[in-house]
Structure 1
Amino acid sequence: MADANARISDIVGSNDVVLFMKGTPLFPQCGFSSRAVAILDHCGVGYESVDVLQDMEIRQGIKAYSDWPTIPQLYVKGEFVGGSDIMMEMFEAGEMQALMDEKQVAKAS
């Protein structure tokens, strides 16, 4: 698990926005991941995605890393933001875009 933690730390630390999800942004493998992708796409920010279905160590490790039991999980500038429901609440309240602006996240290219 230490190896998974180190890999997750590296991914989170080297990208402004990271979405740990089931599937890929083009082919999400669950509704929650699909919703998370739609929110990030609507915000127009660049982000890295990690398909937890391709790596069981990451799939289990991310839950321990964040102390959060579900996937997807969003990290912005190294900080855990939450899962799909929290992302949706923040988006509907205008807080997701505000967070991206406040953290000066680069727009998608």
Structure 2
Amino acid sequence: MSDPVQEQIDQVVKNNDVVLFMKGTPDFPQCGFSQRVAGILSGYGVPFAAVNVLLSEEVRQGIKTYADWPTIPQLYIKADFVGGCDIVTEMHENGELEELLAPLKKEA
């Protein structure tokens, strides 16, 4: 990769077990889809990094290129692209998301 934005995104994805690229922040989401995915993740008690794509047009466009996925939010677990709101919601409802996140839960 020679694009600095793609390199920056790649580092964030690889250096965090769970990363959500979203519009806004988990505490102040700026769209309903981002709010839904952040809420789902918060319910699992797994720490996750959140990247507010509204702070940088380069990151906002770059993340779409990175995953070859046209929409935001985008969820990554262990550097693997999981999907957007519809996919995350479906995985949450059928138990697949819990299976992916279970090994990452911090012991209380």
Per the normalisation by structure 1, the TM-score is: 0.93
Counterpart AA for 1:88: T
The residue aligned with 1:54 is: 55
For residue 70 of structure 1, give the secondary structure of its aligned residue in structure 2.
coil
The residue aligned with 2:27 is: 26
Q: 1:9, CA displacement in angstroms?
A: 0.4
Counterpart AA for 1:105: L
Q: 1:105, CA displacement in angstroms?
A: 1.4
Per the normalisation by structure 2, the TM-score is: 0.94
Q: Please list every run of at least 4 consecutive aligned residues from structure 1 whose deviation after the TM superposition is greater than 6 angstroms.
A: none
The residue aligned with 2:9 is: 8
How many residue pairs get aligned? The number is 107
Q: 1:44, CA displacement in angstroms?
A: 1.2
Q: 1:108, CA displacement in angstroms?
A: 8.9
Cα deviations by residue, 1:69-92 (Å, 9 ceiling, x for unpaired): 000000000000000100000000
The residue aligned with 1:91 is: 92
Relative to structure 1, is the Cα distance of residues 15 and 83 closer, same or farther in structure 2, using a 3 angstrom cutoff? same
Percent identity of the aligned residues? 54
Taking the aligned partners of 1:64 and 1:106, their CA distance within structure 2 comes to: 30
Contact in 2 for aligned 1:45/1:108 (Cα 8 Å): no
Counterpart AA for 1:62: I
Counterpart AA for 1:51: N
Gaps of 5+ in 1: none
Gaps of 5+ in 2: none
What do you get for the CA RMSD once the two structures are aligned? 1.5
Contact in 2 for aligned 1:16/1:77 (Cα 8 Å): yes
